[in-house]
Amino acid sequence: MPVGMLKSLVFLLSLLPLGYYGWGIAQDTLGANPVEALTRGLGTWALNFLLITLAVTPLRKLTGWHVLMRLRRMLGLYAFFYAALHLATYLWLDQSFDWNEIAKDILKRPFITVGMATFALLVPLAATSNNFAIRRLGGRRWQALHRTVYAIAILAVLHYSWMVKFDQSNPLLYGGILLLLLGVRALWREQERKGQLAGKYLPKIRGRIIPITPRQ
């Protein structure tokens, strides 16, 4: 499949959750508390896309499908898209844009504080998810900035866990997947470090070695 077609396919598939909730609100099929279902559903999908984005690099390494890399930016932007909608439902449907209440909520309630911080940290990543920003910042700085996504993902899981009443099975599942995704990176990094120390990248030496000794 050509890359362009794959990207279009993933783009449309990623809109399915939005379609599901949009249709559910319109047809009243989201149960007794549709607003809660919508808010939670959008939050869940923001987290899903965040983890899917974080899965791209490990999956590419394991499978050798380098085309996955071409989807990463779009998947990350979808994480931001769903997070923005999730936040909007809270601001509008839960708080009716009562900024005074919202400010109190952010200051007083740890799970809201963490949720807001998570979103605030996502904004610069979304804003720099384009070629122009990469050129402007330079690859290294851009990469350093985008590595904050690891912290963002941890905060997102924490936000979920603190929101839940008592049944931590879902937050634990997300936490476990995140641990795996971050753990495998740490492991590979460590292996790489050891490999470098062991001279993995030194050119293969053929023939006789003439030691160079400094003159007296």
Name the residues that contact other proteins, by CB under 8 A. Answer: 31-36, 93-94, 96, 101, 104-105, 108-111, 162-163, 165-167
CB of 83 to other proteins, least distance (A): 20
Residue number with CB closer to other proteins (25 or 59): 25
Alpha carbons 89 and 169: distance in angstroms, whole number: 25
**Cβ-Cβ contacts under 8 Å for 105 (sequence gap 6 or more):** 95, 112
Q: Which CB, 104 or 136, lies closer to other proteins? A: 104
- Residues 6 or more apart whose CB falls under 8 angstroms from that of 191 comprise none
Judged by beta carbon, residue 36 or residue 150, the one nearer other proteins is: 36
Strands (E), the chain: none
Q: What share of the chain is helix, strand, coil (3-state, %, to 5)?
A: 80, 0, 20
Q: Which DSSP state fits 203? A: P
| Nearest distance, CB of residue 165 and other proteins, angstroms | 7
Q: Shortest approach of other proteins to residue 13 CB, angstroms?
A: 27
Name which of 153, 142, 177, 185 is nearest 50 in CA terms: 153
Structure tokens at 169: 């099975």
Interatomic CA distance for residues 198 and 170, integer angstroms: 42
The position carrying tokens 């085309």 is: 67
Q: Tally Cβ neighbours within 10 Å of residue 169.
A: 7
Cβ of residue 123: shortest distance to other proteins, in angstroms? 24
- d(Cα 30, Cα 38) in Å, to the nearest integer? 8
The nearer residue to other proteins, 107 or 209, going by C-beta atoms, is: 107
Q: Name which of 176 and 195 has its Cβ closer to other proteins.
A: 176
The least distance separating other proteins from the CB of residue 171, rounded to whole angstroms, comes to 12
Closest CB 27 distance from other proteins, rounded Å: 14
| Nearer CB in complex with other proteins: 3/103 | 103
